[in-house]
Amino acid sequence: MTNVEDMLESLKLLSDKSRLTILALLREKEMCVCDIVAILETTQPNISQHLKKLKTGGLINETKRRQWVYYSLNLDDKPYINEILAQLPSMKDRINAISSQSCD
């Protein structure tokens, strides 16, 4: 069971618009940094910093494939985060808009 301090730290990570948007994107599918950068229209270092915080907080996983790192949600032990993400608007349209710009 999750304690209040752990929940607090996880919820603090959601208080940033970029990090919340990244989690909403990852709710739809696993993504690489270049896709997230394209969707959020910001810099790679900026997105990398947010991803580092989310990974350190245990909210995402990373998997390296060739030269790219792919990110996915890691919320099995955080159902309260899943409940929050379920309330966010779908990001499918934003993802589909950049699907031709694959990292591969």
Give the per-residue pLDDT at 10: 93
Q: Any bridge partners for residue 64, and if so which?
A: 69
Tokens of 56: 């350190």
CATH code where residue 27 lies: 1.10.10.10
Residue 50: inside a domain, yes or no? yes
Instruction: Say if 104 falls within a structural domain.
Output: no
> What's the pLDDT score for residue 99?
66
Domain count, the chain: 1
HSE of 8 in the Cβ direction (CA atoms, 13 Å)? 3
Task: Chunk the chain into consecutive blocks of 10 residues (it has 104) and report each block's average pLDDT, rounded to whole numbers.
Answer: 85 96 96 94 96 97 92 94 94 84 58
Residue holding tokens 């966010």? 88
**What's this model's pTM, rounded to 2 decimal places?**
0.90
Q: What is the domain range of residue 59?
A: 4-97
The reported pLDDT for the residue numbered 100 is 53
Residue 102 lies in a domain: no
In a domain, 103, yes or no: no
